[in-house]
Homo-oligomer: A and B are copies of this chain.
Amino acid sequence: MTTAPTGSRARTRQAILDAAITILSRNPAASLGEVAAAADVGRTTLHRYFPERGDLVAAMQAEAESRLVRARLRARIADDTGADAVRRLCQEYFDLGDVLSLLFRDQGPGDQGPGDSAEPAHDKDNKDDKTDKHGQNDHDDENGPGGSCDPEFAAMVRRGYADGSIDPDLPPDWVQSLIWSQLYAGWSYLAEPGASRHEVLRLVLRSVEGAVRPLRR
């Protein structure tokens, strides 16, 4: 099996995944036809790689998670002062682009309804099923915006408490919420005026730094 143009499959799959991130992060309810069009493949081909919409969404989240983890590794959050590490983390996360809003949406304040996020959701059986919450939030270690943050992140923040670069009044998971919301703000700010990517990044870093450091130094 897969004896011939074997690299082609991976390439097509990736193209679909990239398109899905671009399209579905902006509008989670977009049709598969739109995604296929954006990926420049036929809808048939999309279904060949991801039989159901849920498969595509799952693969997308896995991809996002993967990029997120890589970005975090690049940020070396175990080095330097807490605030320095936070700064590097923001820089790396900022470059995630669409993945940002994708992860951001995946757990807003809402219950997101019975479906899994905001899709038309032809789900077939979880309709009157009062016992939903079918483990939709059983991530492994939680790097995303919501939920409680993971140990390494918390360690970074506590390091900041100790070295005086982060206000001890701010709990680690609040710092995490804060970072994500600032990034999201930056990303959305980027869309409107003529602000350059660099300028916006500067504003984000500036604001996060200010929000996080102790009030009177």
Contact = CB atoms under 8 A, between A and B. Distances in A.
A150 to B, nearest CB: 14
A100 B203 CA distance: 23
Contacts of A178: 182, 185, 207
A12 interface: no
Of the four ranges (under 10, 10 to 19, 20 to 34, 35 or more), the interface on chain A belongs to 35 or more
Nearest to A200: B174
Contact of A208 (B34, B174, B177, B211): B211
Contact of A180 (B113, B115, B185, B207): B185
Interface string A188-213: 11111100000000010011111111
Interface of A: 25-30, 34, 101, 107-113, 115, 117-121, 145-148, 167, 169-170, 173-174, 177-178, 180-182, 184-193, 203, 206-213, 215-217
A104 to B, nearest CB: 9
Contacts of A186: 177
A83 to B, nearest CB: 12
